[in-house]
């Protein structure tokens, strides 16, 4: 067997960027250590490599990880702890749940039912997926579990029904539209409910420490109008921006009925898969009350699938997409976490606060939101950024005269919106991007445009709406 092809030209930009930043060590800002600056150089170089892709993302991330250890920035004992982060493992288990859906035929059955009721037009399927995410969001604190564990299996099944798969280059028939729509619907539902994702809970706790009390209902009311507007628009905007090749299926109902008739009644394997899936959803919904995290629930579901024979050990080992995510996403989370640990992020927050002093409070709030939003290119976790930057930015806003509740809510809504930056922005981004339905260039391009929309709606309409209903 010969050597595999490597795109060596793709290394030019990451190496060049990394070396330039590294050589700027003598003129680095005061307050940043040499080690921290070197890590920043490696992190940015790795991100550039993820864009130019001289190797698949997992390969690029592994090289960045290796260099971090070899150059003494982090010892190996500390670095390998990165692979214990719960989010990549939750995503991996969600992939295996999706595999169970496909293998048993339950996914195909659910997809055909969707086609029967919503499938005359592909945009109808987009809004139907929105409904599933919206209904489950208030009670599912893991947006990763919601996107990859609940909705992704349905997307896979629907795509297969329309013969749309990244494996044979037909993803644009239907799958690309459905997946990208779900990703952005998940962003909006995560913003609408305090209990729809973990960073929201962290933000509420940090806000309380600064004297700002946010209840579940006040959060919901604040986010209601911007959320409803965006939910109404997003499936349509993506339909126009990134249209599926199959737009109308006038015979969808008849097709679905005939296929369902061929399938016959539910098999035992389907019934077992349905029961296990229902158990997972219920546990995800009550996880915050029983002290069980999303990863544990996902592992329970996969273990039950193995015990019942739905999946074999071979199925688990062959699910390369799952293990790919565990590798590259774990590494990026680790590198981003080290940036915070070594002081890059705290330094950045302090610098921002000093530079904005003396401005009009609304101008300061807009500036803080924009910086908070685009800083997420340096993070691979929404919770990590909230933990690192929320208190500092909220403190700056309040001291500048911004109404405390308004400041806290705008930063909290931004924490959902900034998931629309990169393919590693949060768990749902990594899980959905890794399926291959959407090319990386398309992902970044369309996310940039939609990110601007979120900023306009949350800052503009959100601020006015909260004023109208008396929240500030």
- DSSP state at residue 54: S
Residue segments in the chain with a per-residue pLDDT below the cut of 70: 1, 139-141, 251-252, 288, 349, 353, 357, 380
Say how many residues make up the chain.
Answer: 472
| pLDDT value, residue 38 | 93
Q: How far, in Å, CA of 62 to CA of 177, rounded?
A: 30
| pLDDT value, residue 18 | 92
How big is the CA angle at 311 (ends 310 and 315), to the nearest 5 degrees? 155
Q: Could you give phi then psi for residue 121, rounded to 5 degrees? A: -130, 140
| pLDDT value, residue 327 | 84
Q: Are 285 and 309 in contact (CB under 8 A)?
A: no
Q: How far, in Å, CA of 439 to CA of 396, rounded?
A: 38
Q: What percentage of the chain reaches a pLDDT higher than 70?
A: 97
Q: 415, 47, 390, 15: which is closest to 198 by C-alpha?
A: 415
| pLDDT value, residue 25 | 93
Q: Are 329 and 88 in contact (CB under 8 A)?
A: yes
What sign does the dihedral 344-347-351-357 (CA atoms) show?
positive
| pLDDT value, residue 452 | 95
State how far Cα 249 lies from the chain centre. Answer: 31
Tens of pLDDT, residues 237-253: 999 999 999 888 776 67
Q: How far, in Å, CA of 92 to CA of 245, rounded?
A: 30
For residue 399, count other CB atoms closer than 10 A to its CB. 12
| pLDDT value, residue 141 | 67
Tens of pLDDT, residues 183-220: 999 999 999 988 788 788 778 877 887 788 888 888 98
pTM of the model: 0.76
| pLDDT value, residue 380 | 67
How far apart are the two ends of the chain, measured CA to CA in Å?
A: 68
Which structure tokens are listed for 312?
């074999």
Q: Are 247 and 119 in contact (CB under 8 A)?
A: no
| pLDDT value, residue 243 | 92
Question: 404: left (phi > 0), else alpha (psi -120 to 50), else beta?
Answer: alpha
| pLDDT value, residue 354 | 73
| pLDDT value, residue 139 | 65
Give one DSSP letter per residue of 293-336, joined into a string: -HHHHHHHHHHHHHHTTSS-HHHHHH-HHHHHHHHHHHHHHHHH
């Amino acid at each position: 067997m010969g050597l595999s092809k490597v795109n060596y030209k793709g290394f030019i930009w990451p190496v060049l960027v990394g070396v330039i930043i590294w050589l700027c060590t003598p003129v680095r800002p005061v307050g940043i250590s040499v080690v921290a600056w070197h890590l920043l150089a490696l992190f940015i170089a790795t991100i550039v490599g993820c864009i130019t892709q001289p190797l698949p993302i997992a390969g690029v991330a592994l090289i960045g990880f290796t260099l971090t250890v070899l150059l003494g920035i982090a010892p190996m004992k500390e670095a390998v702890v990165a692979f214990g982060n719960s989010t990549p493992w939750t995503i991996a288990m969600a992939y295996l749940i999706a595999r169970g859906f496909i293998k048993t035929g339950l996914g195909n059955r659910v997809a055909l039912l969707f086609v029967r009721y919503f499938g005359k037009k592909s945009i109808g399927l987009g809004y139907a997926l929105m409904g599933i995410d919206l209904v489950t969001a208030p009670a599912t604190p893991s947006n990763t579990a919601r996107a990859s564990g609940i909705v992704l299996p349905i997307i896979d099944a629907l795509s297969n029904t329309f013969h749309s798969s990244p494996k044979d280059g037909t993803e644009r028939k239907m799958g690309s539209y459905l997946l990208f729509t779900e990703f952005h619907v998940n962003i909006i539902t995560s913003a609408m409910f305090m209990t729809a994702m973990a960073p929201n809970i962290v933000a509420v706790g940090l806000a309380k420490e600064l004297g700002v009390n946010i209840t579940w209902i006040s959060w919901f009311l604040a986010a209601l109008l911007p959320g409803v507007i965006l939910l109404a628009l997003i499936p349509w905007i993506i339909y126009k921006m990134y249209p599926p090749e199959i737009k109308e299926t006038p015979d969808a109902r008849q097709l679905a009925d005939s296929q369902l008739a061929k399938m016959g009644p539910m098999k035992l394997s389907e019934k077992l898969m349905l029961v296990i899936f229902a158990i997972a959803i219920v546990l995800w919904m009550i996880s915050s009350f029983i002290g069980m995290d999303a990863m544990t629930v996902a592992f329970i579901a996969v273990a039950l699938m193995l015990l019942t024979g739905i999946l074999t050990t071979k199925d688990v080992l062959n699910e390369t997409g799952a293990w790919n995510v565990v590798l590259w996403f774990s590494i990026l989370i680790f590198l981003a976490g080290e940036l915070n640990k070594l002081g890059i992020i705290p330094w950045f927050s302090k610098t921002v606060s000093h530079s904005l002093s003396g401005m009009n409070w609304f101008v300061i709030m807009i500036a803080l939101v924009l910086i908070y939003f685009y800083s997420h290119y340096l993070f691979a976790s929404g919770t990590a950024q909230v933990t690192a930057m929320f208190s500092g930015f909220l403190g700056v806003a309040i001291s500048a005269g911004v109404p405390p509740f308004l400041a806290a809510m705008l930063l909290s809504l931004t924490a959902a919106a900034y998931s629309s930056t990169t393919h590693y922005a949060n768990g749902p981004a990594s899980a959905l991007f890794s399926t291959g339905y959407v090319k990386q260039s398309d992902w970044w391009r369309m996310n940039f445009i939609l990110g601007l929309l979120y900023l306009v709606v949350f800052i503009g309409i959100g601020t006015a709406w909260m004023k109208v209903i008396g929240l500030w």
